[in-house]
Amino acid sequence: MSMPFYVSPEQLIKDRAEFAQKGIARGRSIVAAIYDRGVVLVGENPSASLYKISEIYDRIAFAGVGKYNEFDRLREAGIRWADGTGFTYSREDVDARALANYYGQHLGDMFTEGQKPLEVEILIAQLGNKLHPTKLYRIAYEGTITDEPRFVVLGGDAETIRDRFAELDESVQPFEFTLKSAVAALAGPDRIVPPGDLEVGILEDRGTRRTFTRLNDARVSELLS
Amino acid sequence: MGLPLFSAQNDPGPSFFHYAESTGLTVPTRHGEGESAHATTVVAVRYLGGVVMVGDRQATGNYIASRDIRKIEPADFYTALAISGTAARGIEFIRMAQLSFEHYEKMTDSALSLEGKANYLSPIIQRNNLSSPLMVIPLLAGWDLSHQVGRIFEYDGAGGCYERLDFATIGSGSPFAESTLRLGFRSDLDLEGALDLGALALYEAGDNDPSTAGPDFVRSLFPMMVTINGDGFQELALDEVANRFRVINDRRTQSGGVAGGTLR
């Protein structure tokens, strides 16, 4: 009879965390930042159809890094949750904080109980109004939720990019400035990311119920020039 | 409600209706007794650049329950959806359609085609009408972006979907509205002509059908008039609608309530 090896809980958690971190760090990063009239989400993404940034609800956007199939499933669940909640109660009862908590619970469960932790890090951005504040919630692979005051960097070499962005964009700025700072932070000092490799989504009030807009390549290159 | 995650086998895909059903967001319907009224008139008329829709505003039970309900709503930017039948079910149906089209768009990052929207509604109508006495018969009109043309889809009680190339009517005032449309429709109608014809058809229905309200000059309540074309769904302003009905009403007053052999 074979005996299973004993693995201490500390070691188990450490191994799982390392596994997830490795997967997430391999991907490219996403920067989300609050500007004077909304929230901008910028990611490096050479694919023009497999999106990392998308709309969840009228004033809520989603961004994910890591394994595409894993975060895309979370995105779909988020849309279902939001549309279902809005259908059952009212559109104004759909709040990003509740969604962030559900994501946190699920990621936490998968981290401790799943076959393997999810190799993803996600962001829920909410554009504020009278009822809800503008918020950026970052949810890590093990379910930790952090409520970031001004900007969030997900995935890849997040720390370096975070420092670079903090230096460029010290306070809440107009849209173009924030976008340029985010792109510069993603690219670093000796690299230029072509607009075609950027994915940009914004949440901004334009007098319509839905506030999410995906900016196309032409618009992005126009804004960056 | 927790995070709605599904295994790959049970995933309802981008269909909000199937998701809502699988999780019990909607109430399952049962067979019951009862006669359902469909007291309404809504007409849709195709013209060269799109579709015009006109609908009355009255909800009727054994007496008039409401004089200002909206029976035509935008289902999305390029689509209008009108209902006849039970108000409660009709309103839920519109909400379900609106949400389903938006849900699909968010899930897949592409909008449904107009034909896709028309077909999507069929089983929802079938499910409702064949399992409950609370009937709903909708009417869908939209601007088809891929063919750059306005299109009308009507449904039967079992959910069958039929495209109409000229005009369509729903509700109890249909026979009167339809007669007017049959006489007045031409395939080269322009927007003005379609609005005039649609308003006249509704005036006739209001004049003859006890459950359809014509223009109400006392309360300043008028049928809803909308256009669906390349610019999307647009509702005509109250003043403009009031003027159109006032013109028809004045004409009829002069001729003593008789149409007089012409479309007046």
**pLDDT value at B49 more than 70:** yes
**Of the candidate ranges A19-28, A67-76, A204-213, B44-53, the one whose mean pLDDT is the lowest:** A19-28
DSSP A185-222: HHH-TT----GGGEEEEEEE--SSS--EEEEPHHHHHH
**pLDDT value at B133 more than 70:** yes
Q: Cβ atoms within 10 A of the Cβ of A73, count?
A: 18
Residue A141's pLDDT is: 95
Can you give the pTM of this predicted structure?
Answer: 0.90
* C-alpha closest to that of B93 among B56, B125, B69: B125
Cβ distance of B23 and A51 shorter than 8 Å:
no
pLDDT band, very low/low/confident/very high, at B139 (cuts 50, 70, 90): very high
Residue extents of the structural domains in chain A: 23-224
Q: Is A65 helix (H, G, I), strand (E, B) or coil?
A: strand
Specify the residue for token string 């699920």. A106
- What is d(CA B253, CA B210) in angstroms, rounded to the nearest whole number? 20
- What is d(CA B53, CA B48) in angstroms, rounded to the nearest whole number? 14
Contact A134, A39 (CB under 8 A): yes
Measure in Å the smallest separation between the Cα of A99 and chain B Cα atoms.
8
Q: From the centroid of its chain, how far is CA A35?
A: 16
Of chain A, the percentage scoring pLDDT greater than 90 comes to 81
Q: From the centroid of its chain, how far is CA A210?
A: 19
CATH number of the domain at A23-224, please? 3.60.20.10
**pLDDT value at B258 more than 90:** no
Q: Read off the pLDDT of residues B69-114 as tens digits, 9 standing for 90 and up.
A: 999 999 999 999 999 998 889 999 999 999 999 999 999 999 999 9
B56-76 average pLDDT score: 91
- What is d(CA A84, CA A99) in angstroms, rounded to the nearest whole number? 12
Residue A67's pLDDT is: 94
Instruction: Quickly name the fold that domain B39-254 has.
Output: Glutamine Phosphoribosylpyrophosphate, subunit 1, domain 1 (3.60.20)
What residue type is B161 in one-letter code?
A: C
Q: What is the DSSP code (8-state) at residue A92?
A: G
Q: Which of A73, A74, A83 sits opposite B99 (nearest CB)?
A: A83
Specify the residue for token string 């970052």. A138
Contacts of A151 (CB under 8 A, 6+ apart): A31, A32, A33, A34, A136, A165, A166, A169, A182
Measure in Å the smallest separation between the Cα of A43 and chain B Cα atoms.
17
Measure in Å the smallest separation between the Cα of A23 and chain B Cα atoms.
22
pLDDT, averaged across chain A: 93
Nearest residue on chain B to A106, judged by CA atoms? B3
Q: What is the DSSP code (8-state) at residue B258?
A: -
Dihedral angle of Cα A186, A190, A195, A197, to the nearest 10 degrees: -70
| Helix, strand counts (H, E) of chain B | 6, 12
Contact A220, A195 (CB under 8 A): yes
**pLDDT value at B262 more than 80:** no
- What is d(CA B242, CA B219) in angstroms, rounded to the nearest whole number? 11
**pLDDT value at B35 more than 50:** no
Q: Output A91-98 pairs: Cβ under 8 A, ≥24 positions apart.
A: A91/A57, A91/A58, A91/A209, A92/A131, A94/A57, A94/A58, A94/A60, A95/A126, A95/A132, A96/A60, A96/A124, A96/A125, A96/A126, A96/A132, A96/A135, A96/A137, A97/A126, A97/A135, A97/A137
Nearest residue on chain B to A85, judged by CA atoms? B1
Residue B21's pLDDT is: 83
Contacts of A79 (CB under 8 A, 6+ apart): A55, A56, A57, B103, B106, B107
* C-alpha closest to that of A214 among A99, A51, A34: A51
Q: What is the DSSP code (8-state) at residue A93?
A: G
Q: In angstroms, what is the C-alpha Rg of chain A?
A: 18
CB-based contact (8 Å) between A101 and chain B? no
State the catalytic residues of B.
Answer: 40
Cβ distance of B23 and A84 shorter than 8 Å:
yes
